């Protein structure tokens, strides 16, 4: 009985360790097109613990402009002035500055326990010489790990 008890505790510890470091499957799929700017989301394994580095890259946005991104939980379609669309609801977001080519990237660690996906989209704003506002939005992606 003592051997069986010890063996059971060792097997339990091994099982919990392997579950904690189980490799997630991460990726992205298209969720909608907007007005030409493009979003890519990549996941790169980071270490042996099952964690990832996630990078969002928006291209085709306004050069050297203020921008922001949204992570949402559901699709939607709200047409903005100028014709581009917001294609997901808002759960969380952040702002950024595009570079001189109209690109911007943002990254974060994705822990091994975060089995969730989000709708993701980026946008940029530019004030035109006539004081009109130009808004560009990327396509929308569903990205995450499961």
Between 3 and 71, whose confidence is greater?
71
In whole angstroms, give the CA distance from residue 70 to residue 85: 13
SS3 58: strand
pTM of the model: 0.82
What's the pLDDT score for residue 13? 41
Q: Is the pLDDT of residue 115 over 80?
A: yes
Mean pLDDT of 17-37: 80
**24-145: CATH topology:** Immunoglobulin-like (2.60.40)
Q: Residue 24: its pLDDT value, please?
A: 84
Domain ranges (residues) in the chain: 24-145
What digits encode the pLDDT tens for the residues 33-71?
Answer: 999 999 999 999 999 889 999 999 999 999 999 999 999
Residue 137 has pLDDT above 70, yes or no: yes
User: What is the reported pLDDT for 22?
Assistant: 59
pLDDT score for 23: 72
**E-strand stretches of the chain:** 26-32, 38-46, 51-59, 66-72, 75-79, 85-88, 92-97, 104-110, 116-127, 133-137, 140-145
Listed as own residue / partner, the contacts of 47-52 with beta carbons closer than 8 Å and 24 or more positions apart are 48/21, 49/20, 49/21, 49/112, 50/20, 50/21, 50/22, 50/23, 50/24, 50/112, 51/109, 51/110, 51/111, 51/112, 52/24, 52/26, 52/109, 52/110, 52/145
- 10 pLDDT above the threshold of 50: no
| pLDDT-based confidence at residue 2 (cuts at 50, 70, 90) | low
Q: Is the pLDDT of residue 6 over 60?
A: no
pLDDT at residue 106, rounded to an integer: 97
Tens digit of pLDDT for each residue in 67-114? 999 999 999 999 998 999 999 999 999 999 999 999 999 999 999 999
């Amino acid at each position: 009985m003592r051997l069986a008890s010890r063996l059971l505790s060792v097997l339990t510890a091994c099982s919990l360790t392997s579950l904690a470091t189980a490799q997630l499957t991460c990726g992205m799929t298209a969720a909608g097109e907007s007005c030409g700017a493009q979003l890519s989301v990549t996941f790169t394994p980071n270490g042996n613990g099952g964690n990832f580095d996630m990078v969002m890259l928006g291209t085709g946005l306004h050069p050297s402009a203020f921008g922001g991104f949204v992570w949402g939980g559901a699709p939607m379609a709200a047409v903005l002035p100028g014709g581009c669309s917001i294609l997901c609801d808002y759960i969380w977001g952040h702002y950024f500055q595009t570079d001189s080519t109209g690109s911007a990237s943002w990254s974060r660690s994705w822990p091994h326990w975060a089995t969730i996906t989000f709708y993701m989209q980026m946008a940029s704003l530019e004030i035109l010489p006539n004081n009109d506002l130009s808004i560009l939005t990327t396509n929308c992606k569903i990205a995450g790990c499961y």
